[in-house]
Amino acid sequence: MTGGGGFIGSHLAGRLLRDGYEVRVLDNFATGRRENLLDIWDDIELVEGDMQSYERVHNAVRGCQVVAHLAALPSVPRSVQDPLTSNATNVTGTLNVLLAARDADVGRLIYSSSSSVYGANPDLPKREEQPTLPISPYAVAKLAGEGYCRAFFDVFGLETVALRFFNVFGPGQDPLSQYAAVIPRFITSLLDGKPPTIYGDGEQSRDFTYVDNVLDGVTRALSTPGNGGKVFNVATGHGVTLNELARLLAEIIGSDIEPVYEQARPGEVRHSEADVARAREAFGFEPAISIEDGLARTVESFERKAPTPAE
């Protein structure tokens, strides 16, 4: 698997080990962290390197039956600031992974795409057959990866499956990066007694998806044949506004702090909510953990890691 040092990747590596897989991880740790893998360090094979190097990727996938391609340079704002680097990692890197998987006779490849590919399309819920209208360079790059996956299935017979993740959250997500996702930022602010920052009016909505739901989708896609060249949403199927999210977290934490509002950021979509019927029918995907339960688990994990105040 690529990107095993990342938030989702490290959770997936642990899940695959528990499911009986032998796991080899490729990561350059540009955004992933070694500490994410400490609990399973002795159980995985680590190949450290950049997926922009075909040779490094080929060495990593050689002998593997399936590949989970999760490595990416995430964040819409980051891609707006630096489109070239976003493209080099998310498009050229993905092409290298596909080429290496083809050349190593890998049986199946799962590609982590993004709900951002729907972009400016206003229709809700988001269904896989809808037109894609990506706004940000990140979304364009993710859509390009989907196109390459479909081409490698049609032309080379590599069984590729693209999964569109919707706003994944859970324990271990980094709240400190300037590109941190909204939920770890909100939790950290509230635990520190500070108001969370919302960009825009807060009425934009997202299909926030607890990480264990995503792991279930990935492992089912990995083990289910017959979906080559197809695309699937992996989400909960429910949209929540950022204002609602802030209220839910404040209730869980027991805080009465109100959010503060700043100017909306470019490249962000207004609403996002998935239809997961296609994944349910194809490989039995069912999001078992609600956003309320997922938020409670995530807050608990952040509280356990919070430093104890000095007496």
In contact, 51 and 91? CB cutoff 8 Å: no
Residue 259: the pLDDT is: 97
111 is catalytic: no
Q: Tokens at residue 246, please? A: 């802030």
Distances (CA, A) of 271 to 1, 172, 243, 247: 31, 26, 13, 18
pLDDT at residue 306 in the model = 62
- Judge whether residue 2 has pLDDT over 50: yes
Residue 179: pLDDT band (50, 70, 90) is low
pLDDT, average across residues 250-265: 96
- pLDDT by residue (tens digit) across 20-46? 999 999 999 999 999 999 999 999 999
Neighbouring CB atoms inside 10 A of 105's CB total 12
| Whole-angstrom distance, CA of residue 173 vs CA of residue 32 | 10
Nearest Cα neighbor of 215 from 1, 40, 31 is: 1
pLDDT tens column, 77-95: 999 999 999 999 999 999 9
Whole-angstrom distance, CA of residue 171 vs CA of residue 7: 8
Domain 7-169+209-237+274-288: give its CATH architecture: 3-Layer(aba) Sandwich (3.40)
pTM here is 0.95
Confidence of residue 294 (pLDDT cuts 50, 70, 90): very high
- Please name every residue paired with 240 in a beta bridge, in sequence order, or none if there are none: 206
Quick one: pLDDT band at residue 190, thresholds 50, 70, 90?
Answer: very high
- List 118, 138, 148, 210, catalytic entry: 138
Q: How confident is the model at residue 309 (pLDDT cuts 50, 70, 90)?
A: very low
Instruction: Please state whether 113 falls in left (phi above 0), alpha (psi between -120 and 50) or beta.
Output: beta
Q: What's the pLDDT at 271?
A: 92
pLDDT in tens, 96-131: 999 999 999 999 999 999 999 999 999 999 999 999
Torsion over CA of 209, 76, 241 and 130, rounded to 10 degrees?
-70
Residue 307 has pLDDT above 60, yes or no: no
Whole-angstrom distance between the N-terminal and C-terminal Cα of the chain?
45
Supply the pLDDT for residue 238: 96
| Tens-digit pLDDT profile for residues 133-155 | 999 999 999 999 999 999 999 99
Report CA-CA distances (Å) from 15 to 11, 133, 291. 6, 33, 20
Reported confidence tier of residue 175, pLDDT bands at 50, 70, 90? confident
Q: How many CB atoms lie within 10 A of CB 259?
A: 20
Residue range 193-247, pLDDT digits in tens? 999 999 999 999 999 999 999 999 999 999 999 999 999 999 999 999 999 999 9
Which two three-digit tokens encode residue 136?
């940000």
pLDDT, tens digit, for every residue of 48-70? 999 999 999 999 999 999 999 99
